Structure 1
Amino acid sequence: MKTPAVAAVLCLLTATACGASRDGARPAESPSVSLWGTADPSAEPSGEATEPFDADRAVLRIKRLGFTADTDPGILKSLRGPLRAIHAHCTGSVDGHCVSVFFFHGNEYAGNDATGVRSSAITSQDGRTVTLSYPQFLPTDPQCCHSGGERTYRARWKDGKVVFSPPLPENPNYADR
């Protein structure tokens, strides 16, 4: 059984683009793209970063996963930590309906929100809590327009991982399915 760190190293050694898109529209799933483990499970957020945020490194990690950050690295450097979130879209997406939120604890990648998300927004983040909003698409909604309202989730760092309240469903744009 491989840990996400071992899988990531193997991916780099084989020079494959883990998570890179084959058709330019959607990234392939990668075992390292799940939220949920980190090197120091005992670390709890203090509300302040202990070291400057390496936004360039974070943006490069996001790019290697097949996404493009929606915010300039210069602006990302000012995010308070230790918990930070970066919204990104699938590299090469023509309609913009392939997005994800990537989490970093300190300068370490901690995972992303969900795979296959059509639309989302980071509504706030303060270094301890990240608030995300997801439009709710009903089965008859066109791709452009949701009619099911919005759902809000809060992400926090707890016991070495990002946890959501309420728990994040597999696809938060279709939470009732």
Structure 2
Amino acid sequence: MRRAVTLPAAAAVFCLTLVTACGASADKARPEANPSVSLWDTAGPSDGKPSEDGREPFDVDRAVLRIKRLGYTADTEAGTLRNLRGPLRAIHAHCTSSVDGKCVSVFFFHGNEYAGYDRTAAAQSTIKSQDGKTVTLSYPVYLPTDPQCCHSGGEREYQARWKDGRVSFSPPLPENPNYPDK
């Protein structure tokens, strides 16, 4: 004997199926953290050849989507990002799940191609300037006795430039620029 399925039961099964399917696809789209992946992997969704002249319009939507897929949220409005001169561009972002904002990274694009990031989850950083050829980053330096709120080691600046097909820092960027002596 067949039982009639009630509307609430059918709706519950539909919702469960929808939530399960959406959850599964969202997990597959989220990249896993993998420290063995090169910071300067320039393979992008297109042909992997960055624009040399930077005259093409910056595809901000694609750049912001790439950052989002890496688990970060851009800190600058899309309208402002569209005005960045290229070919080398930097976008400051924070970890999407960060509660205190002490998890940031700077993502680099050469032309419209993703070119890497500074360091994974630095505590704090600032893009001081960028002109399409050089990006100047600043990191507050925390001494071992400093509380998380307040650094007392001054700030260190680093210049990022496109050199030999990758982003290069001068002086070389330490593993943790907020705590360079660790």
Question: Normalization by structure 1: what TM-score?
Answer: 0.80
Give yes or no for the alignment of 1:68 onto 2:51.
no
RMSD after superposition: 2.1
Of 82, 92, 100, the residue aligned with 1:95 is 100
SS at match of 2:28: coil
- Displacement of 1:139 after TM fit? 1.1
1:118 paired residue number: 123
Contact 2:139 2:178 in 1 (8 A): yes
2:31 paired residue number: 18
CA deviation map 1:124-166 (0-9, x unaligned):
0000000000000111111111010000000000110000000
1:138 paired residue number: 143
1:55 paired residue number: 60
Give yes or no for the alignment of 1:81 onto 2:94.
no
Gaps of 5+ in 2: 1-24
CA distance in 2: counterparts of 1:124 and 1:105, whole angstroms: 16
The count of residues paired between Structure 1 and Structure 2 equals: 153
Residues 63/77 of structure 1: CA separation in 2 closer, same or farther (3 Å cut): same
- Displacement of 1:37 after TM fit? 4.1
What amino acid sits opposite 2:179 in the alignment? Answer: Y
- Displacement of 1:16 after TM fit? 3.8
Question: Normalization by structure 2: what TM-score?
Answer: 0.77
Q: Which has the bigger relative contact order, CA under 8 A and spacing at least 6?
A: 1
Residues 52/17 of structure 1: CA separation in 2 closer, same or farther (3 Å cut): same
CA distance in 1: counterparts of 2:40 and 2:100, whole angstroms: 26
Contact 1:33 1:112 in 2 (8 A): no
Give yes or no for the alignment of 1:148 onto 2:153.
yes
